[in-house]
Amino acid sequence: MNQRDCIFCGISQGEITSNKIFEDDQAFAILDISPKAPEHVLVIPHIHVGDLINASLPEFQAARHCFEIAPQIAKSRGLGLSGYRLVTNQGADSGQEVPHFHLHILGGRKLQGMG
Ligand code: AMP
Ligand code: ZN
């Protein structure tokens, strides 16, 4: 399931270093290298999920797991009471940079409206 030249597959395999703050058998969480908020965490499935439009059942399950663990990861970063935003980008119009499904957890300050 490892995709050549995919940054997040490389991090999953330990080939690319990262600031990993959580890991289990299905997913891991790292600090974003270019944070857009005081807290900016990425929750990423180990398997390469290219997108959810053409996803297989195992890929959907891996993505679902990311949603399941995100609240506890947010809480572990101190965002349990103050709140946070979950974002997932899909495709060119969203500005998606890395074509391996992931959730952004953003928080630590009052966030701007969506746009
Ligand atoms: P997206 O635009 O939704 O694909 O988000 C990709 C995110 O990955 C961006 O916020 C980048 O700053 C972040 N990113 C890219 N490379 C790395 C890396 N090596 N370690 C941590 N975060 C990264
Ligand atoms: Zn990948």
What top-level class would CATH report for the domain 3-107? alpha beta
- Give the pLDDT score at 115: 77
**What is the whole-number distance in angstroms between the Cα of residue 23 and the centre of ligand 2?**
16
| CB-based contact 62:25 (threshold 8 Å) | no
Q: What pTM, to 2 d.p., does this model score?
A: 0.97
Mean pLDDT, consecutive 10-residue segments, the chain of 115 residues? 88 97 98 98 98 96 98 98 97 96 98 89
- Give the pLDDT score at 98: 98
Of 78, 81, 99, 79, the C-alpha closest to 90 is 99
Alpha helices in the chain (DSSP H): 7-12, 57-76
- CA of 32, nearest ligand number: 1
Q: Is 32 in the pocket of ligand 1 (CB under 6 A)?
A: yes
> How many Cα atoms sit within 13 Å of 86 on the Cβ side?
16
